[in-house]
């Protein structure tokens, strides 16, 4: 894969800023809007920001870890950047589209590369009805919240909530309760990627719930619809020996 021009962006932490200075001094670079590929220096949070920033442009992103976890990033090296990018393997992501209606009736939309999560806002547990493709699957879930995760996000919040890790390309989503109290035996479910999930908040005036798509939050929601976005398919670039699919498989076997 050949790219003629690259842009270099960085998170605000010191490690990322120092790396940005070194790479910009070493390689020719252009503004992001003029680049064939965007090099993102930081951690997974910065990668999510970068993916959202360039979602419309469809520019591929080559992430380099200058943050903490760096699950969506490649290892940091100063040398052979053009060669690494030329040999990189593309991974196409399929974000979710959240359509959330708040208690005043206003509708909000946002995209999520990782997950859409509903979370209680107060000391009271949330009560949420769950529908999948128009069929009520859970009449009343009493919980701290619930989320729908993509394969790319399945090793993030979803994994912390004891949801399943999903290989890239599996064509699945994870629907994972968060600290569920009732039904007692309710666990995470795997759904076809084409599914439409609707969450209805029961008594939202007393048990207020927020909805979050990656880092976009909508407060006091009454209804949230989640489905795959067909308009946006961002592309990540990974070193062949350290690709995202392998990382997700590896994650299932570490303690």
Q: Which runs of E-coded beta strand occur in 103-245?
A: 107-112, 115-120, 126-132, 135-143, 145-149, 172-178, 189-192, 197-201, 209-213, 216-218, 221-228, 235-238
* CATH 2.60.200.30 boundaries in the chain: 96-228
Given the residues 14, 28, 34, 44, select the one marked as catalytic.
44
At residue 2, the pLDDT reads: 64
Q: pLDDT tens digit string along 116-164?
A: 999 999 999 999 999 999 999 999 999 999 999 999 999 999 999 999 9
- Token pair, residue 149, equals 């995760």
Asked if 44 is an active-site residue, the reply is yes
Choosing among 2.40.50.100, 2.60.40.420, 3.40.50.2000, 2.60.200.30, the CATH entry for 96-228 is: 2.60.200.30
Tally of CB atoms within 10 A around 177? 24
pTM of the predicted model as reported, rounded to 2 decimal places:
0.88
Domain 6-93+233-251 = CATH 3.40.50.10330 = yes
pLDDT above 90: residue 206 = yes
Mean pLDDT is lowest, of 57-66, 166-175, 242-251, for 242-251
Distance set, CA 196 to CA 134, 167, 243 (Å)? 8, 20, 29
Query: Across residues 87-102, what is the average pLDDT?
Result: 95
Half-sphere exposure of 86 (CA within 13 A, CB side): 7
Residue 244: pLDDT band by 50, 70, 90 thresholds? confident
Please report, rounded to a whole number, the percentage of residues in the chain having pLDDT higher than 90: 82
Distance CA 44, CA 50 (A): 10
Q: pLDDT tens digit string along 9-36?
A: 999 999 999 999 999 999 999 999 999 9
Distance CA 192, CA 11 (A): 35
Distance CA 126, CA 103 (A): 15
Please report, rounded to a whole number, the percentage of residues in the chain having pLDDT higher than 70: 98
Element (H, E) at 17: helix 14-26
Q: pLDDT tens digit string along 48-60?
A: 999 999 988 889 9
* CATH 3.40.50.10330 boundaries in the chain: 6-93+233-251
- Token pair, residue 191, equals 């759904």
């Amino acid at each position: 894969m050949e790219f003629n021009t690259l842009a270099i962006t960085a998170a605000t932490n010191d490690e990322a800023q120092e790396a940005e200075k070194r790479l910009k001094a070493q390689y020719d670079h252009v503004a992001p809007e003029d680049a064939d590929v965007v090099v993102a220096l930081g951690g997974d949070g910065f990668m999510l920001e970068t993916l959202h920033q360039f979602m419309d442009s469809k520019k591929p992103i080559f992430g380099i870890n200058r943050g903490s976890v760096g699950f969506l990033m490649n290892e940091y090296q100063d040398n052979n950047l053009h060669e690494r990018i030329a040999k990189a393997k593309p991974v196409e992501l399929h974000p979710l589209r959240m359509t959330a209606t708040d208690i005043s009736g206003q509708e909000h939309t946002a995209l999520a590369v990782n997950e859409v999560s509903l979370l209680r806002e107060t000391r009271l547990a949330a009560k949420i009805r769950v529908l999948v493709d128009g069929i009520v699957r859970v009449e009343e879930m009493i919980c701290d919240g619930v989320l729908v995760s993509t394969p790319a996000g399945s090793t993030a919040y979803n994994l912390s909530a004891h949801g399943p890790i999903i290989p890239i390309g599996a064509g699945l989503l994870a629907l994972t309760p968060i600290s569920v109290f009732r039904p007692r035996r309710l666990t995470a479910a795997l759904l076809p990627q084409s599914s439409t999930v609707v969450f209805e908040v029961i008594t939202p005036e007393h048990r207020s719930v927020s909805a979050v798509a990656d880092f976009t939050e909508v407060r006091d929601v009454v209804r949230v619809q989640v489905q795959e976005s067909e308009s946006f398919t961002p592309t990540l670039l990974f070193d062949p020996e350290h690709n995202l699919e392998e990382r997700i498989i590896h994650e299932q076997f570490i303690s």
